[in-house]
């Protein structure tokens, strides 16, 4: 099953790489949003390092959602999804493969957005880079699990592009809150152990929802 998931992930990434439009759109959106937030929230009145975690994870959420729609959009366009389901591979492999591709997509955007935030907000990134990367990966896994499932559903509805963020955002709160809180603590120089209680929620969320969404995925396909 992992091999099949890998095959699908590679296919999705090949498609995305061929056009690049969604990735670039998400990237540009992130950078623009960072700049707008910077000017909207006066960083002289409130220390930049207090604002930065919020900015970082809000942008993470919205740019993450942006890229999700295309995941099943390509399958719906000419009903390529039928060919996938009619083939011998497991339905869960389809979910895993698409989630993996989405994970690469989201982490790719974050690889640019996080340094950009650090740059604009003058954050001392050196010592927090390791833990911050871990938080980013954990948050991305959760976002991608829920987002992949909901985009599979949204693509079959009338309001697809509006519906996806509307359905998914309540589910992103247990991701964004722990991520922002732990980032804030790390940036304030607190020891990693203090952020652990937040990270535990994030890890628990990831485990529960990766499993739940993988199990729920077959129900979103015609049966």
Partner 1 sequence: MAVRELSFSVRDGECLALFGPNGAGKTTLLRVLAGLLRPTGGTARIAGVPIPGGAAARAVVGLISHQSMLYSALTARENVEFAARLYGVTAPADAAMRALEKLRIAERAESAVRSLSRGMQQRVSIARAIVHDPRVVLLDEPYTGLDEGGAAALTDALQSLKTAGAALVLVTHHLGEGLALASHTAIMRDGRFVQHAARGGVDVESYRDQYRQAVRS
Partner 2 sequence: MTAPPPPAAHRDRFDWLLTVAVLAVAGTMVRAIAFTPIEANQGAAQKIFYIHAPSAFVGLYIAFGLVAVAGALYLWLRDERLDRIAASSAEVGVVFTTVVLITGPIWGKPIWGTWWTWDARLTLTLFLWFVYLGYLILRGAIDDASVRARYSAVLGVLGALLVPFIHLSVYLFRTLHPMPIVLKPSSPSLPPEMLTTFFLALASFTLLFVALLRARYRLATVLDALVDEEAAEPSSMGTLRAEPLR
Contact positions vs partner 1 (CB under 8 A): 4, 7, 11, 14-15, 18-19, 74, 77-80, 82-90, 222-223
Q: Is 37 in the site for partner 2 (CB under 8 A)?
A: no
In the bound state with partner 1, the residue whose beta carbon lies nearer, of 42 and 222, is: 222
Q: Is 212 in the site for partner 2 (CB under 8 A)?
A: yes
Q: Is 72 in the site for partner 2 (CB under 8 A)?
A: no
Q: Is 61 in the site for partner 2 (CB under 8 A)?
A: no
Q: Which of 66, 64, 85, 21 is nearest to 218 (CA)?
A: 85
Q: Is 147 in the site for partner 2 (CB under 8 A)?
A: no
Q: Which of 152, 127, 121 is nearest to 56 (CA)?
A: 121
Residue 77 interacting partner from partner 2, partner 1, none (CB closer than 5 to 8 Å by kind): partner 1
Q: Is 198 in the site for partner 2 (CB under 8 A)?
A: yes
Q: Is 208 in the site for partner 2 (CB under 8 A)?
A: yes
Residue numbers at the binding site for partner 2 (CB under 8 A): 146, 149, 153, 156-159, 163, 166-167, 169-171, 173-174, 177-178, 181, 197-198, 201, 204-205, 208-209, 212-213, 216, 219-220, 222-223
């Amino acid at each position: 099953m992992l091999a099949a998931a890998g095959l699908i992930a590679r296919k999705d990434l090949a498609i995305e790489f061929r056009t690049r439009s969604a990735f670039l759109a998400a990237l540009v959106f992130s950078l623009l949003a960072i700049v707008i937030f910077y000017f909207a929230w006066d960083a002289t009145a409130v220390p930049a390092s207090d604002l930065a975690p919020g900015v970082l994870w809000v942008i993470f959420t919205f740019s993450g959602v942006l890229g999700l729609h295309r995941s099943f959009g390509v399958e719906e366009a000419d009903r390529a999804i039928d060919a996938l389901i009619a083939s011998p591979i497991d339905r869960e492999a389809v979910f895993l493969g698409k989630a993996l591709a989405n994970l690469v997509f989201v982490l790719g955007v974050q690889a640019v957005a996080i340094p950009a935030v650090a740059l604009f907000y003058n954050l001392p990134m050196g010592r927090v880079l390791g833990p911050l990367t871990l938080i980013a990966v954990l948050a991305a896994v959760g976002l991608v699990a829920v987002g992949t499932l909901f985009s599979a559903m949204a693509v079959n509805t009338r309001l697809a592009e509006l519906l996806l963020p509307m359905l998914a955002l309540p589910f992103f709160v247990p991701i964004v809150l722990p991520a922002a809180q732990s980032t804030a603590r790390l940036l304030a120089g607190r020891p990693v152990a203090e952020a652990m209680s937040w990270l535990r929620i994030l890890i628990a969320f990831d485990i529960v929802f990766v499993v739940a969404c993988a199990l729920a995925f077959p129900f979103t396909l015609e049966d």
